Amino acid sequence: MTMPRPVRLFHITAIDNLETICRQGSLLSKTKSQQLGLQYHNIAHSGAQGARAIKSVNNPPGGLVHEFVPFYFAPRSPMLSAIHNGTVQNCNYEQTDIMYFETTIENALHNGLQDFVFYDRNATLDYSQCFTDLNLLASSVDWLTMTESPRLDGFCKYFMNSHANPRYVDRGEKRQAEFLIKEQVPLNWMTRIGVANEDKATEARSALAQNNINLTVDVMTDWYFWGQ
């Protein structure tokens, strides 16, 4: 399967975090947020966060995973599914409370992207492979698994592991392949925000307007779990 162009990137967070994000004008890494004393509503597994806090990436650019802003290559991630199914400890959000920031690698490069890495699967795994050469992106991410039929907005609607087919025994972790951008990502690099319904779109547009940020907000039902 050929890598899609442009290469889309998706970052999820709680809509409750949007006001703080807007005031900073950027998505910030976990480390940068802590250095600034910012408090965000957490939507992540605590075990995964612990692993990301100590795992190093390739040098250059160097640093720990938590020093980077994480993006997935597809929506409807296993992470959002876990939130939807209530399996993230101490996270009381429903999927409708989660929003997406979308951009593309091409857009980020145009805006001056320099320090980044990407992984062939979930970066927290000991055996995940880290890359820094974009020429390897097409061969390092399993684009067939990511984009095969049946699709929703260009991405396979299925992502869970299945031992009935050898191709799918690690499909979940491959779906969580990551593109990590060091320290911060300005909001003007984003192409849009995606939300679950019109009520959340109104909420997001209000926060953006109050902070004088011009960013499109679209209702993207294909990015959520509605039994499609």
Q: Which of 129, 167, 10 is nearest to 78 (CA)?
A: 10
Residues written for the chain: 228
CA-to-CA distance for 163 and 55, rounded, in angstroms? 29
| Cβ atoms of residues 73 and 8 within 8 Å | yes
Q: Is-cis flag, bond preceding 6, omega within 30?
A: yes
CA-to-CA distance for 22 and 64, rounded, in angstroms? 25
- Over its length of 228 residues, how does the chain's per-residue pLDDT go in tens digits? 689 999 999 999 999 999 999 999 999 999 999 999 999 999 988 777 888 989 999 999 999 999 999 999 999 999 999 999 999 998 999 999 999 999 999 999 999 999 999 999 999 999 999 999 999 999 999 999 999 999 999 999 999 999 999 999 999 999 999 999 999 999 999 999 999 999 999 999 999 999 999 999 999 999 999 987
CA-to-CA distance for 100 and 93, rounded, in angstroms? 14
Q: Cβ of 168: how many Cβ atoms within 10 Å?
A: 16
User: Reduced to 3 states, what is the DSSP secondary structure of residue 13?
Assistant: strand
CA-to-CA distance for 208 and 205, rounded, in angstroms? 5
pTM: 0.96
User: Reduced to 3 states, what is the DSSP secondary structure of residue 207?
Assistant: helix
Contacts with 205 (C-beta within 8 Å, 6 or more apart), sequence order:
217
User: What letter represents residue 128's amino acid?
Assistant: S
Q: Is-cis flag, bond preceding 4, omega within 30?
A: no
